Structure 1
Protein backbone atom coordinates (compact mmCIF):
# COMPACT_ATOMS: atom_id res chain seq x y z
CA UNK A 1 0.00 0.00 0.00
CA UNK A 2 1.38 3.41 -0.93
CA UNK A 3 1.94 6.15 1.67
CA UNK A 4 -0.83 8.33 0.22
CA UNK A 5 -3.46 5.63 0.71
CA UNK A 6 -2.44 4.52 4.19
CA UNK A 7 -4.63 6.35 6.76
CA UNK A 8 -2.25 5.52 9.58
CA UNK A 9 0.56 7.14 7.65
CA UNK A 10 -1.19 10.41 6.88
CA UNK A 11 -3.11 10.91 10.16
CA UNK A 12 -1.34 12.97 12.85
CA UNK A 13 -0.29 10.89 15.85
CA UNK A 14 -2.24 11.33 19.08
CA UNK A 15 -0.76 13.49 21.81
CA UNK A 16 0.56 11.38 24.66
CA UNK A 17 -0.20 12.85 28.08
CA UNK A 18 1.57 11.01 30.91
CA UNK A 19 1.12 7.79 29.02
CA UNK A 20 -2.47 8.48 27.90
CA UNK A 21 -3.10 9.10 24.22
CA UNK A 22 -5.27 12.16 23.62
CA UNK A 23 -6.48 13.76 20.41
CA UNK A 24 -4.95 17.16 19.84
CA UNK A 25 -8.34 18.85 20.24
CA UNK A 26 -8.74 17.29 23.67
CA UNK A 27 -5.49 18.53 25.16
CA UNK A 28 -6.56 22.18 25.34
CA UNK A 29 -9.85 21.26 26.99
CA UNK A 30 -8.09 19.03 29.49
CA UNK A 31 -5.75 21.87 30.48
CA UNK A 32 -8.62 24.35 30.67
CA UNK A 33 -10.75 21.99 32.75
CA UNK A 34 -7.95 21.67 35.30
CA UNK A 35 -7.33 25.42 35.27
CA UNK A 36 -11.02 26.19 35.77
CA UNK A 37 -11.14 24.17 38.98
CA UNK A 38 -7.86 25.54 40.34
CA UNK A 39 -8.24 29.22 39.41
CA UNK A 40 -11.88 29.46 40.51
CA UNK A 41 -11.01 28.16 43.98
CA UNK A 42 -7.51 29.47 44.63
CA UNK A 43 -6.93 32.44 42.37
CA UNK A 44 -3.96 32.96 40.10
CA UNK A 45 -0.75 33.39 42.06
CA UNK A 46 -1.25 30.32 44.25
CA UNK A 47 -1.44 28.03 41.21
CA UNK A 48 1.79 27.27 39.38
CA UNK A 49 2.37 25.95 35.88
CA UNK A 50 3.80 22.68 37.18
CA UNK A 51 0.64 22.03 39.18
CA UNK A 52 -1.52 22.85 36.15
CA UNK A 53 0.49 20.41 34.03
CA UNK A 54 0.30 17.72 36.70
CA UNK A 55 -3.42 18.17 37.28
CA UNK A 56 -4.26 18.17 33.58
CA UNK A 57 -2.01 15.17 32.90
CA UNK A 58 -0.36 16.59 29.80
CA UNK A 59 3.26 16.96 28.83
CA UNK A 60 4.93 20.34 29.41
CA UNK A 61 5.51 20.73 25.67
CA UNK A 62 1.81 20.12 25.04
CA UNK A 63 0.88 22.72 27.65
CA UNK A 64 3.02 25.43 26.07
CA UNK A 65 1.87 24.45 22.60
CA UNK A 66 -1.64 25.53 23.57
CA UNK A 67 -0.86 28.30 26.09
CA UNK A 68 2.35 30.27 25.70
CA UNK A 69 2.11 31.50 29.31
CA UNK A 70 0.04 31.08 32.45
CA UNK A 71 -1.50 34.50 31.80
CA UNK A 72 -2.85 33.26 28.47
CA UNK A 73 -4.45 30.34 30.28
CA UNK A 74 -5.99 32.69 32.86
CA UNK A 75 -7.51 34.75 30.04
CA UNK A 76 -9.01 31.58 28.57
CA UNK A 77 -10.32 30.67 32.03
CA UNK A 78 -11.97 34.09 32.40
CA UNK A 79 -13.65 33.68 29.02
CA UNK A 80 -15.01 30.27 30.02
CA UNK A 81 -16.05 31.62 33.43
CA UNK A 82 -18.04 34.38 31.75
CA UNK A 83 -19.91 31.87 29.61
CA UNK A 84 -20.47 29.14 32.19
CA UNK A 85 -21.03 31.31 35.28
CA UNK A 86 -22.39 34.66 34.11
CA UNK A 87 -24.38 33.65 31.04
CA UNK A 88 -25.35 30.00 31.60
CA UNK A 89 -25.80 29.92 35.37
CA UNK A 90 -26.81 33.43 36.44
CA UNK A 91 -28.44 35.30 33.56
CA UNK A 92 -30.06 32.38 31.76
CA UNK A 93 -31.38 30.85 34.97
CA UNK A 94 -32.72 34.19 36.23
CA UNK A 95 -34.53 34.68 32.93
CA UNK A 96 -35.99 31.20 33.19
CA UNK A 97 -37.28 31.74 36.72
CA UNK A 98 -38.85 35.18 36.29
CA UNK A 99 -42.04 35.77 34.34
CA UNK A 100 -41.61 39.57 34.07
CA UNK A 101 -38.46 41.67 33.60
CA UNK A 102 -38.60 42.84 37.22
CA UNK A 103 -38.99 39.27 38.43
CA UNK A 104 -36.03 38.26 36.28
CA UNK A 105 -33.91 40.93 37.93
CA UNK A 106 -34.91 39.79 41.40
CA UNK A 107 -34.41 36.15 40.41
CA UNK A 108 -30.69 36.86 40.13
CA UNK A 109 -30.60 36.79 43.93
CA UNK A 110 -32.68 33.61 44.02
CA UNK A 111 -30.00 32.00 41.86
CA UNK A 112 -27.37 33.45 44.20
CA UNK A 113 -29.16 31.93 47.20
CA UNK A 114 -28.81 28.47 45.67
CA UNK A 115 -25.18 29.18 44.79
CA UNK A 116 -24.31 30.47 48.28
CA UNK A 117 -25.77 27.32 49.85
CA UNK A 118 -23.47 25.01 47.91
CA UNK A 119 -20.54 23.40 49.70
CA UNK A 120 -18.33 24.32 46.73
CA UNK A 121 -19.28 28.03 46.72
CA UNK A 122 -16.19 29.76 45.31
CA UNK A 123 -17.21 33.48 45.15
CA UNK A 124 -16.66 35.62 42.04
CA UNK A 125 -13.49 34.89 40.09
CA UNK A 126 -13.60 38.27 38.34
CA UNK A 127 -13.56 40.13 41.66
CA UNK A 128 -11.00 37.73 43.15
CA UNK A 129 -8.55 38.11 40.27
CA UNK A 130 -9.06 41.89 40.09
CA UNK A 131 -8.18 42.24 43.77
CA UNK A 132 -5.32 39.76 43.50
CA UNK A 133 -3.66 41.20 40.41
CA UNK A 134 -4.75 44.85 40.58
CA UNK A 135 -6.43 47.01 37.91
CA UNK A 136 -3.11 47.82 36.24
CA UNK A 137 -2.34 44.20 35.39
CA UNK A 138 -3.72 42.79 32.12
CA UNK A 139 -5.56 40.07 34.06
CA UNK A 140 -7.02 42.68 36.39
CA UNK A 141 -8.16 44.73 33.41
CA UNK A 142 -9.68 41.66 31.80
CA UNK A 143 -11.61 41.03 35.02
CA UNK A 144 -12.87 44.63 34.96
CA UNK A 145 -14.08 44.08 31.40
CA UNK A 146 -15.99 40.93 32.37
CA UNK A 147 -17.54 42.70 35.35
CA UNK A 148 -18.71 45.39 32.93
CA UNK A 149 -20.33 42.67 30.83
CA UNK A 150 -22.30 41.57 33.89
CA UNK A 151 -23.56 45.13 34.31
CA UNK A 152 -24.52 45.04 30.65
CA UNK A 153 -26.79 42.07 31.27
CA UNK A 154 -28.41 43.88 34.20
CA UNK A 155 -28.79 47.04 32.13
CA UNK A 156 -30.58 45.07 29.42
CA UNK A 157 -33.00 43.62 31.97
CA UNK A 158 -33.59 47.11 33.35
CA UNK A 159 -34.41 48.38 29.86
CA UNK A 160 -36.83 45.50 29.37
CA UNK A 161 -38.47 46.43 32.70
CA UNK A 162 -38.89 50.05 31.60
CA UNK A 163 -36.75 51.39 34.44
CA UNK A 164 -35.32 54.87 34.08
CA UNK A 165 -31.58 55.44 33.67
CA UNK A 166 -30.70 51.77 33.16
CA UNK A 167 -26.95 52.43 33.21
CA UNK A 168 -26.90 53.98 36.68
CA UNK A 169 -29.42 51.42 37.86
CA UNK A 170 -27.13 48.60 36.72
CA UNK A 171 -24.19 50.08 38.61
CA UNK A 172 -26.16 50.24 41.85
CA UNK A 173 -27.55 46.77 41.24
CA UNK A 174 -24.08 45.41 40.63
CA UNK A 175 -22.98 46.75 44.03
CA UNK A 176 -25.70 44.61 45.60
CA UNK A 177 -24.56 41.59 43.61
CA UNK A 178 -20.90 41.96 44.52
CA UNK A 179 -21.66 42.86 48.12
CA UNK A 180 -23.82 39.79 48.61
CA UNK A 181 -21.07 37.56 47.19
CA UNK A 182 -18.51 39.00 49.60
CA UNK A 183 -20.93 38.62 52.51
CA UNK A 184 -21.55 35.00 51.54
CA UNK A 185 -17.80 34.41 51.43
CA UNK A 186 -17.66 35.78 54.99
CA UNK A 187 -20.14 33.11 55.99
CA UNK A 188 -23.49 34.91 55.67
CA UNK A 189 -25.41 32.39 53.58
CA UNK A 190 -28.55 34.55 53.93
CA UNK A 191 -26.82 37.39 52.08
CA UNK A 192 -28.76 36.77 48.87
CA UNK A 193 -32.08 37.26 50.64
CA UNK A 194 -30.91 40.48 52.25
CA UNK A 195 -29.68 41.78 48.90
CA UNK A 196 -32.95 40.76 47.23
CA UNK A 197 -34.92 42.90 49.67
CA UNK A 198 -32.72 45.92 48.98
CA UNK A 199 -32.97 45.18 45.26
CA UNK A 200 -36.74 45.53 45.48
CA UNK A 201 -36.31 48.98 46.98
CA UNK A 202 -33.88 49.91 44.21
CA UNK A 203 -36.33 48.83 41.50
CA UNK A 204 -39.04 50.97 43.12
CA UNK A 205 -36.78 54.01 42.99
CA UNK A 206 -36.08 53.55 39.29
CA UNK A 207 -39.55 52.76 38.03
CA UNK A 208 -40.50 55.13 35.22
Structure 2
Protein backbone atom coordinates (compact mmCIF):
# COMPACT_ATOMS: atom_id res chain seq x y z
CA UNK A 1 0.00 0.00 0.00
CA UNK A 2 1.16 3.49 -0.78
CA UNK A 3 2.26 5.61 2.15
CA UNK A 4 1.41 9.23 1.39
CA UNK A 5 -0.92 11.95 2.55
CA UNK A 6 -3.55 11.07 -0.05
CA UNK A 7 -3.55 7.46 1.04
CA UNK A 8 -3.70 8.43 4.71
CA UNK A 9 -6.71 10.61 3.94
CA UNK A 10 -8.56 7.80 2.20
CA UNK A 11 -7.75 5.33 4.97
CA UNK A 12 -9.01 7.81 7.54
CA UNK A 13 -12.18 8.38 5.51
CA UNK A 14 -12.88 4.65 5.36
CA UNK A 15 -12.19 4.02 9.05
CA UNK A 16 -14.26 7.04 10.05
CA UNK A 17 -17.20 5.78 8.00
CA UNK A 18 -16.91 2.31 9.52
CA UNK A 19 -16.41 3.51 13.10
CA UNK A 20 -20.02 4.15 14.11
CA UNK A 21 -21.28 1.04 12.32
CA UNK A 22 -18.67 -1.20 13.95
CA UNK A 23 -19.19 0.36 17.38
CA UNK A 24 -22.97 -0.03 17.20
CA UNK A 25 -23.32 -3.39 15.47
CA UNK A 26 -19.99 -5.17 15.73
CA UNK A 27 -17.50 -5.82 12.95
CA UNK A 28 -18.92 -9.04 11.50
CA UNK A 29 -22.40 -7.55 11.06
CA UNK A 30 -21.15 -4.80 8.72
CA UNK A 31 -20.49 -5.46 5.05
CA UNK A 32 -17.75 -3.96 2.94
CA UNK A 33 -20.42 -2.47 0.67
CA UNK A 34 -21.89 -0.55 3.62
CA UNK A 35 -18.45 0.81 4.48
CA UNK A 36 -17.87 1.91 0.90
CA UNK A 37 -21.26 3.62 0.77
CA UNK A 38 -20.65 5.32 4.10
CA UNK A 39 -17.27 6.58 2.96
CA UNK A 40 -18.65 7.69 -0.42
CA UNK A 41 -15.92 5.77 -2.21
CA UNK A 42 -15.94 3.06 -4.85
CA UNK A 43 -14.96 -0.51 -4.12
CA UNK A 44 -11.92 -0.04 -6.34
CA UNK A 45 -10.65 2.95 -4.38
CA UNK A 46 -11.26 1.33 -0.99
CA UNK A 47 -9.65 -1.87 -2.24
CA UNK A 48 -6.40 0.00 -2.91
CA UNK A 49 -6.01 0.58 0.81
CA UNK A 50 -7.93 -2.22 2.51
CA UNK A 51 -8.01 -5.78 1.26
CA UNK A 52 -10.98 -6.82 3.43
CA UNK A 53 -13.52 -5.71 5.99
CA UNK A 54 -11.43 -7.37 8.69
CA UNK A 55 -8.49 -5.15 7.76
CA UNK A 56 -10.75 -2.13 8.19
CA UNK A 57 -11.84 -3.66 11.49
CA UNK A 58 -8.25 -3.96 12.70
CA UNK A 59 -7.66 -0.29 11.86
CA UNK A 60 -10.87 0.60 13.69
CA UNK A 61 -9.76 -1.30 16.80
CA UNK A 62 -6.44 0.52 16.74
CA UNK A 63 -8.20 3.89 16.55
CA UNK A 64 -10.68 2.93 19.24
CA UNK A 65 -7.82 1.90 21.50
CA UNK A 66 -6.17 5.30 21.08
CA UNK A 67 -9.37 7.32 21.42
CA UNK A 68 -11.09 5.31 24.12
CA UNK A 69 -8.50 3.62 26.32
CA UNK A 70 -5.71 6.15 26.10
CA UNK A 71 -7.87 9.19 25.47
CA UNK A 72 -10.60 8.45 28.01
CA UNK A 73 -9.63 5.68 30.44
CA UNK A 74 -5.94 6.42 30.96
CA UNK A 75 -6.57 10.18 31.06
CA UNK A 76 -9.36 9.66 33.61
CA UNK A 77 -7.12 7.45 35.73
CA UNK A 78 -4.42 10.10 35.89
CA UNK A 79 -6.94 12.82 36.78
CA UNK A 80 -8.49 10.83 39.64
CA UNK A 81 -5.67 8.79 41.11
CA UNK A 82 -2.94 10.15 43.37
CA UNK A 83 -1.25 6.97 44.58
CA UNK A 84 -0.59 3.95 42.32
CA UNK A 85 -3.36 2.03 44.11
CA UNK A 86 -5.74 4.95 43.61
CA UNK A 87 -4.95 4.94 39.90
CA UNK A 88 -5.69 1.24 39.65
CA UNK A 89 -9.05 1.66 41.37
CA UNK A 90 -9.85 4.74 39.30
CA UNK A 91 -10.20 2.45 36.29
CA UNK A 92 -13.55 1.37 37.69
CA UNK A 93 -14.60 4.96 38.37
CA UNK A 94 -14.03 5.72 34.69
CA UNK A 95 -15.92 2.55 33.75
CA UNK A 96 -18.79 3.58 36.04
CA UNK A 97 -19.16 6.90 34.22
CA UNK A 98 -19.02 5.06 30.90
CA UNK A 99 -21.70 2.58 31.94
CA UNK A 100 -24.07 5.38 32.98
CA UNK A 101 -23.94 7.14 29.62
CA UNK A 102 -26.99 7.01 27.35
CA UNK A 103 -24.74 6.10 24.43
CA UNK A 104 -22.92 3.31 26.31
CA UNK A 105 -22.04 0.42 24.05
CA UNK A 106 -19.43 -2.29 24.17
CA UNK A 107 -20.47 -4.35 21.17
CA UNK A 108 -17.06 -4.48 19.50
CA UNK A 109 -15.25 -5.34 22.71
CA UNK A 110 -17.51 -8.31 23.29
CA UNK A 111 -17.88 -9.61 19.76
CA UNK A 112 -14.18 -9.44 18.90
CA UNK A 113 -13.27 -11.00 22.22
CA UNK A 114 -15.62 -13.94 21.70
CA UNK A 115 -15.62 -14.46 17.93
CA UNK A 116 -12.11 -13.80 16.61
CA UNK A 117 -9.60 -16.66 16.62
CA UNK A 118 -6.18 -15.76 18.09
CA UNK A 119 -4.46 -16.15 14.70
CA UNK A 120 -7.08 -14.09 12.84
CA UNK A 121 -6.14 -10.43 12.09
CA UNK A 122 -8.89 -9.24 14.41
CA UNK A 123 -7.84 -11.75 17.03
CA UNK A 124 -4.25 -10.53 16.81
CA UNK A 125 -5.43 -6.93 17.16
CA UNK A 126 -7.52 -7.90 20.17
CA UNK A 127 -4.62 -9.76 21.82
CA UNK A 128 -2.33 -6.80 21.26
CA UNK A 129 -4.87 -4.43 22.78
CA UNK A 130 -5.36 -6.61 25.86
CA UNK A 131 -1.61 -7.01 26.28
CA UNK A 132 -1.07 -3.25 26.22
CA UNK A 133 -3.79 -2.76 28.83
CA UNK A 134 -2.08 -5.33 31.08
CA UNK A 135 1.21 -3.48 30.61
CA UNK A 136 -0.42 -0.31 31.97
CA UNK A 137 -1.92 -2.24 34.89
CA UNK A 138 1.46 -3.84 35.57
CA UNK A 139 3.15 -0.44 35.66
CA UNK A 140 0.68 0.85 38.27
CA UNK A 141 0.93 -2.40 40.26
CA UNK A 142 4.72 -2.24 40.19
CA UNK A 143 4.62 1.34 41.47
CA UNK A 144 2.30 0.15 44.25
CA UNK A 145 4.89 -2.54 45.11
CA UNK A 146 2.40 -5.35 44.73
CA UNK A 147 3.72 -8.88 44.37
CA UNK A 148 3.12 -11.65 41.82
CA UNK A 149 2.47 -9.09 39.09
CA UNK A 150 1.61 -11.52 36.29
CA UNK A 151 -1.12 -13.17 38.34
CA UNK A 152 -2.34 -9.80 39.61
CA UNK A 153 -2.65 -8.34 36.10
CA UNK A 154 -4.51 -11.35 34.74
CA UNK A 155 -6.88 -11.30 37.72
CA UNK A 156 -7.39 -7.54 37.40
CA UNK A 157 -8.18 -7.96 33.73
CA UNK A 158 -10.89 -10.48 34.62
CA UNK A 159 -12.54 -7.80 36.76
CA UNK A 160 -12.33 -5.24 33.95
CA UNK A 161 -13.73 -7.54 31.26
CA UNK A 162 -16.35 -8.92 33.63
CA UNK A 163 -17.55 -5.42 34.46
CA UNK A 164 -17.91 -4.55 30.76
CA UNK A 165 -19.88 -7.72 29.99
CA UNK A 166 -22.09 -7.29 33.07
CA UNK A 167 -22.87 -3.71 32.05
CA UNK A 168 -23.92 -4.97 28.62
CA UNK A 169 -26.26 -7.37 30.44
CA UNK A 170 -27.87 -4.37 32.13
CA UNK A 171 -25.97 -4.09 35.44
CA UNK A 172 -25.17 -0.38 35.53
CA UNK A 173 -23.51 -0.88 38.94
CA UNK A 174 -21.07 -3.45 37.58
CA UNK A 175 -18.06 -1.15 37.86
CA UNK A 176 -18.80 -0.33 41.50
CA UNK A 177 -19.14 -4.03 42.30
CA UNK A 178 -15.88 -4.80 40.49
CA UNK A 179 -14.13 -1.99 42.41
CA UNK A 180 -15.05 -3.64 45.71
CA UNK A 181 -13.48 -6.89 44.56
CA UNK A 182 -10.51 -4.96 43.16
CA UNK A 183 -9.71 -3.58 46.61
CA UNK A 184 -9.61 -7.14 47.91
CA UNK A 185 -7.33 -8.19 45.07
CA UNK A 186 -4.90 -5.37 45.85
CA UNK A 187 -4.89 -6.41 49.51
CA UNK A 188 -4.16 -9.97 48.48
CA UNK A 189 -1.09 -8.85 46.54
CA UNK A 190 0.39 -6.56 49.16
CA UNK A 191 3.59 -8.22 50.40
CA UNK A 192 3.34 -9.56 53.94
CA UNK A 193 -0.41 -9.06 54.40
CA UNK A 194 -2.75 -11.96 55.00
CA UNK A 195 -5.59 -11.87 52.50
CA UNK A 196 -8.23 -13.21 54.86
CA UNK A 197 -7.35 -10.75 57.61
CA UNK A 198 -7.60 -7.61 55.50
CA UNK A 199 -10.70 -5.43 55.80
CA UNK A 200 -10.93 -5.08 52.02
CA UNK A 201 -11.30 -8.82 51.73
CA UNK A 202 -14.00 -8.88 54.38
CA UNK A 203 -15.87 -6.14 52.53
CA UNK A 204 -15.72 -8.10 49.26
CA UNK A 205 -16.71 -11.34 50.97
CA UNK A 206 -19.74 -9.68 52.56
CA UNK A 207 -20.81 -8.30 49.20
CA UNK A 208 -20.48 -11.71 47.57
CA UNK A 209 -22.56 -13.39 50.28
CA UNK A 210 -25.25 -10.72 50.02
CA UNK A 211 -25.65 -10.28 46.31
CA UNK A 212 -23.83 -12.67 44.02
Given that residues 55 and 121 in structure 2 are in contact (C-alpha distance below 8 angstroms), is that contact kept between their aligned partners in structure 1? no
SS in 2 for 1:121: coil
Deviation (angstroms), 1:26: 2.8
Task: Tell whether 2:161 aligns with 1:178.
Answer: yes
Larger radius of gyration between Structure 1 and Structure 2? 1
Deviation (angstroms), 1:95: 1.7
C-alpha deviations, 1:130-157, integer Å up to 9, x for none? 3123334332232122112111111111
Q: 1:147 aligns with which of 122, 130, 140?
A: 130
Task: Tell whether 2:134 aligns with 1:169.
Answer: no
Given that residues 126 and 146 in structure 1 are in contact (C-alpha distance below 8 angstroms), is that contact kept between their aligned partners in structure 2? no
Matches of 1:104 and 1:184, distance apart in 2: 21
Q: 2:28 aligns with which of 25, 32, 45?
A: 45
The equivalent of 1:199 in structure 2 is 182
Matches of 1:132 and 1:38, distance apart in 2: 17
Given that residues 24 and 107 in structure 2 are in contact (C-alpha distance below 8 angstroms), is that contact kept between their aligned partners in structure 1? no
TM-score by length of 2: 0.82
Task: Tell whether 2:56 aligns with 1:79.
Answer: no
Given that residues 135 and 144 in structure 1 are in contact (C-alpha distance below 8 angstroms), is that contact kept between their aligned partners in structure 2? yes
SS in 2 for 1:162: coil
**Runs of 5+ consecutive residues of structure 1 not aligned to the other structure:** 1-22
TM-score by length of 1: 0.83
**Structure 1 range deviating more: 54-63 or 170-179:** 54-63
**Count of residues in Structure 1 that have an aligned counterpart in Structure 2:** 186
Matches of 2:137 and 2:23, distance apart in 1: 23
The equivalent of 2:85 in structure 1 is 102
Runs of 4+ in 1 over 6 A off after TM superposition: none
Given that residues 159 and 182 in structure 2 are in contact (C-alpha distance below 8 angstroms), is that contact kept between their aligned partners in structure 1? yes
- The CA RMSD over aligned residues, in Å, is 1.6
Matches of 1:147 and 1:25, distance apart in 2: 26
Summarize the Cα distance change of 1:106–1:124 in structure 2 as closer, same or farther, 3 Å threshold: farther
SS in 2 for 1:68: coil
Given that residues 163 and 206 in structure 1 are in contact (C-alpha distance below 8 angstroms), is that contact kept between their aligned partners in structure 2? yes
Matches of 1:78 and 1:40, distance apart in 2: 10
Matches of 2:7 and 2:110, distance apart in 1: 33
